[in-house]
Amino acid sequence: MTSLTDRYIWAAVRTVPEAQRSGLEPEIREMIEESIDVRLAAGDDPASAERATLTGLGDPERLAADYVDRPLVLVGPRYYLEWLRLLKTIAFISVPIAAAAVFVVQLFTTGSVGGAIGSAAATAISVTVHVGFWTTLLFVILERTGSTEAGMEWTVDRLPELPDGSRDGRRSELVASLVFLAVFAGLILWQQVRPAVRAEDGSGIPLLDPALWTSWLPWFLGLIVAEAFFATWIFRRGWSWSAAAVNLVLGVAFTVPALQLWAAGDLLNPAFLDATGWDPGVATEGWTVSTIVTASVLVLAVWDVADGFLKAGRASGAASPRRVLADH
Amino acid sequence: MSDDLLQGHLQELRRGTVVLACLCRLRHPDYGYALLESLEASGIHVDANTLYPLLRRLEKQGLLTSEWNTAESRPRKFYRTSPAGDDLAATLTADWDRLTTSLHRLAEGDRS
């Protein structure tokens, strides 16, 4: 009896439950010794016969796992799809919510956009890691306890709906867009024509700087008209990658100058601020109205652009199953 | 056809035949390595690290019974096919024959 064989047997049996070790040990020893005998009979010297036999048997832990039917996968084919679905579902829900919440809270408490983006990214990573770890752990336990698959079997009720690319599905989207744009344009005109705030002589004081009527306000009103045409185009043609790109251009054309004007303090009418005694730059409880507006506009703009690309992606994916179905 | 692909298909086709071979051969009790060598001699190749765990699994399923023989210098575990194992061997053999007939018929149908 030499030490290599003993070490091999120990390496194998220590990985199985205590109760099964005593039964396993003589079986593996018999197998090894018989194999060595065959090699010795063929003329090998004892040392190389032992070494060749153990090499041929391979990883002792794998051998022991074979003996006691221990699974050698973290999550096997039985649960893999359920694991992947659950992981995706939880990650897609919890990561954006957590990141957005941290972003907003950080922005309001520190007022730093960069810091808020950093915190949101760190939160997104840590939530992703947690979701990945705990979900996987659940399935690793399921895989090993061999629980029944109650509630996990696939049924036809779980088939996804074919994507609704029809015009009817887009009508409500069109109506919502047009109503929103009309209200928005109406508010811009209304604050000039019938201002809510009056000066002492009874004349109205518009909210927006009247100087903008010869510069940026026509640009924004023009963009609103363009958005209305764009919404109609989407209603007629549906979302596509080029539509998402146009949506991006429109979004940038609106958001960038609006935020620049807002940041420079050129958007609001100085007379309006004087009359109301309101200063959006003054901080209350650590954050300012100015930051809130900037953050909200940014979030809405990014969401709108992302939504466009999501819908374009969904629409391009929707085209293929219909084509596939039509071919058959 | 690449060698890997060929080996994969052969392995797929032979999977399960080792069980049947063991159940038939162990109607006469024997220990692992003697079984391995007699299977080898009959043209059925199986590795020791596959055969030994397989024997233990078949015993756990009640298809084999075992007994340690300590009369000789080296203790050896002797396996023997149980009545349940015999029944299974008969069923598997019948299915094997049926498949052989079907496959031959299919192959001949191809030629005509």
Taking 80 as the threshold, does the pLDDT of residue A6 lie above it? yes
The reported pLDDT for the residue numbered B53 is 92
User: Å from B89 to nearest chain A CA?
Assistant: 22
- The residue range of the domain holding A92 is 77-158
Residue pair B55/B100 in contact (Cβ under 8 Å)? The answer is no
Query: Tokens 């109607």, residue?
Result: B27
- Rounding to the nearest 10 degrees, give the CA dihedral for residues A72, A77, A83, A84: 120
Number of domains in chain A: 3
With a cut of 60, say whether residue A1 has pLDDT above it: no
A243 touches chain B (CB under 8 A): no
Looking at the structure, tell me whether residues A123 and A219 fall in a common domain: no
**Four-point Cα dihedral A63, A69, B58, B12, nearest 10:** -80
Nearest chain A residue to B67 by CA distance is A27
Same domain, A106 and A244: no
- Comparing CB atoms, the residue among A26, A33, A58 nearest residue B49 is A58
A67, amino acid identity: Y
pLDDT band at A167 (very low <50, low <70, confident <90, very high): low
The confidence band for A322, taking pLDDT boundaries of 50, 70 and 90, is low
Q: Could you tell me which CATH class the domain B3-111 is placed in?
A: mainly alpha
* Rounded average pLDDT over A75-89: 89
CB contact under 8 A, B49 and A28: no
**Residue A196 or A158, more confident:** A158
Q: Is residue A207 a contact partner of residue A195, using CB atoms and an 8 Å limit?
A: yes
Contacts 24+ apart (CB under 8 A), A322-326: A322/A162, A322/A165
Summarised one tens digit per residue, pLDDT across range A93-133 is 888 888 888 888 887 777 777 888 888 899 999 999 999 99
Q: Are residues A316 and A183 in the same domain?
A: yes
Contact A63 B32 (CB under 8 A): no
Q: How many Å apart are CA A253 and CA A258, to the nearest integer?
A: 9
Tell me whether residues B33 and A56 touch, CB distance under 8 A: no
pLDDT tens readout for residues A135-152 = 999 989 888 886 665 556
For chain A, what percent of residues have pLDDT higher than 90?
21
B56 with A56: Cβ contact below 8 A: no
How far does A328 lie from chain B, in Å, by closest CA?
29
Q: Does A175 share its domain with A320?
A: yes
Q: Decide if A57 and B33 are in contact by the 8 Å CB cutoff.
A: no
Please name the member of A26, A33, A69 whose beta carbon is closest to the beta carbon of B57: A69
Q: How far is the alpha carbon of A144 from chain B, nearest alpha carbon, in Å?
A: 18
Same domain, A171 and A319: yes
Buried b (16+ CB within 10 A) or exposed e, A230-256: bbeebbeebbbeebbebbbebbebbbe
Residue of B nearest to A69 (CA): B57
Give the residue with greater pLDDT, B61 vs A171: B61
Instruction: Kindly state whether residues A99 and A81 are assigned to the same domain.
Output: yes
Residues A176 and A294 in one domain: yes
| A55, A100: one domain | no
Check: complex ipTM more than 0.90:
no
Mean pLDDT, consecutive 10-residue stretches, chain B (112 aa), reads: 89 90 94 92 90 92 92 88 96 95 88 58
Cβ contact A27–B48 (<8 Å): no
Residues A177 and A323 in one domain: yes
Do A321 and A175 belong together in one domain?
yes
